[in-house]
Amino acid sequence: MHPSVHVRTNPQKPAVIVAETGEAISYAELDAASNRAAQMFRAHGLEHEDVIAFMLDNTPHYYGLTWGAQRAGLRYVCISSRLTQDETDYILENSGAKMLVVAASLAPAALQLRTKIERFSMGGDIAGWPRIENELARMPAEPIADERAGVDMLYSSGTTGRPKGVRVPLPEEPAIDAPNSLVMLASMAFGINSESIYLSPAPLYHAAPLRWSMTIHRLGGTVVLMKKFDPEGALAAIQHYRCNAAQFVPTHFVRMLKLPEAVRAQYDVSTMKSAIHAAAPCPIPVKLAMIDWWGPVLLEYYAGSEGNGMTFATSQDWLAHKGTVGRAINGVVHIVGEDNETEVPVGEEGTVFFESESVFEYHDDPEKTAASRNSKGWSTLGDVGRLDEDGFLYLTDRKSFMIISGGVNIYPQEIENHLVTHPKVADVAVVGGPHEEMGEEVIAVVQPADMVDATDAFRDELIAYAREKLSGVKIPRRIDFLDALPRHDTGKLYKRLLRDRYWEQAKEGA
């Protein structure tokens, strides 16, 4: 259950293929690269439990570093290239990283960093930084003497505040090829195996793309890595490489479905057997359209970087329980009330908690760690939802995104899920803005498919469209247009940036 194992049986099999160019790295090459990386980390004084940070674009060479860190017993922090300089410095300082590797394409951002740390560039030059390729070339491609399984230490995207680092213990079993829970889930629930050709369309610095693609390597499959998601490019990659598995977020589905029918019809996606999706509940009309197009191959799960639990739903499960994110396959789901202790009746909404043996903490933040627990030891990711009589979970929204207008709790997700299905809407975010009488008002920030539609007439059209499905309190009181929303490549919105803008404007006008 490790890339090094597959070198013995199939050394020339591609471990990674770049979707756009066809560049490939074999298992033998990946094994050698990870050994050189581990050797380099030791040569620079990094020991078991130490932390290393990567801030890179999607490149097949990413995996040589992550697998090198894994076999050197390190904690590896993969930093989003979309964060601000302040947020990146915060992660470096908070994590205690001793080394940083940055893509040369990110040189302007890298040169602004204040944290004093050993630094290397990758894929080009950054003024004053040594090239990691030169350092790696001097290292032997042999395993280090003290191999020990390491683990990722990933930070949130900063969508609702300061990024928070999820720290879990190093694996109890130190062997680098020991199986883990994700490998077992991937093979048993998601049908992933050595024959999988897995399309990875999202940035590797995010938890799901990184962990799932490395799981493919553990099982001996091939990762088809997209440098950047493009809806038609994803369809082309599925057809060209005959991908039979992939992981998406709902935003990817929306963008593929909004391609012209003639474009969609050009591509054969019949090889796809496991179209995994997560990150946010998928709007019901969107998922129905995807199942109609690709067949009942959509597999949905709900989980977090914290690893405290997971739910899972097949297409058949979902069609029988539309809107669900599945039943628990890791841990036990509990829905609790405002006191974070008392379970609410079946069908009622509350905070989603998992009861499990998994242990995590938010690094160097005991308050956030404590706030994620209750007295029973259950933990929450901060989501609101409900269970049905069959034990299927339905998510309402994140608690932190809730809008309180005139004493009424309003969750943006339902509004967003409806508005995004309008044919002239490319993307939408709903936030709460200040209102003198009601406390907050519902504001929809819409990215039109064509900015020529950013008119008062289109606002009226959207309001009418909202009234078709939503109750009066959920109808946006204000609609603004943007040519692009501040959305992470993983599909997550930096919603706080939008919300903060309205509250700051109110302060300035006061």
Mean pLDDT for 377-390 is 92
Same topology for domains 306-399 and 402-509, yes or no?
no
Q: What is the pLDDT of residue 283?
A: 86
Domain boundaries, the chain: 3-219, 306-399, 402-509
Tally of CB atoms within 10 A around 303: 24
Alpha carbon of 29 to those of 4, 20, 262: distances in Å? 10, 20, 40
Q: Does 3-219 carry CATH code 3.30.70.20?
A: no
Packed helices 207-219 and 62-71: angle between N→C axes, nearest 10 degrees: 70
Tens digits of residue pLDDT in 272-313: 999 999 877 788 999 999 999 999 999 999 998 888 899 999
In angstroms, the CA 33 to CA 139 distance is 10
In angstroms, the CA 325 to CA 322 distance is 9
- CATH of segment(s) 402-509: 3.30.300.30
Q: Which of 159-173, 321-335, 422-436 has the lowest mean pLDDT?
A: 159-173
Tens digits of residue pLDDT in 96-129: 999 999 999 999 999 999 999 999 999 999 999 9
- All residues at 6 or more sequence positions from 275 whose CB lies less than 8 Å from its CB, including other chains: 245, 246, 248, 290, 294, 297, 298, 299
Residue 324 has pLDDT above 70, yes or no: yes
Torsion sign over Cα 189, 190, 195, 200: negative
Superfamily of domain 306-399: Luciferase; Domain 3 (2.30.38.10)
Tens digits of residue pLDDT in 397-450: 777 777 878 767 788 888 988 999 999 999 999 988 888 777 889 999 999 999
Residue 368 has pLDDT above 90, yes or no: no
Tens digits of residue pLDDT in 471-487: 888 899 999 999 999 87
214 in Cβ contact with 39 (< 8 Å):
no
277 in Cβ contact with 247 (< 8 Å):
yes
- All residues at 6 or more sequence positions from 374 whose CB lies less than 8 Å from its CB, including other chains: 336, 340, 341, 353, 380
- The structure tokens 């994110």 sit at 325
- All residues at 6 or more sequence positions from 248 whose CB lies less than 8 Å from its CB, including other chains: 201, 202, 275, 276, 277
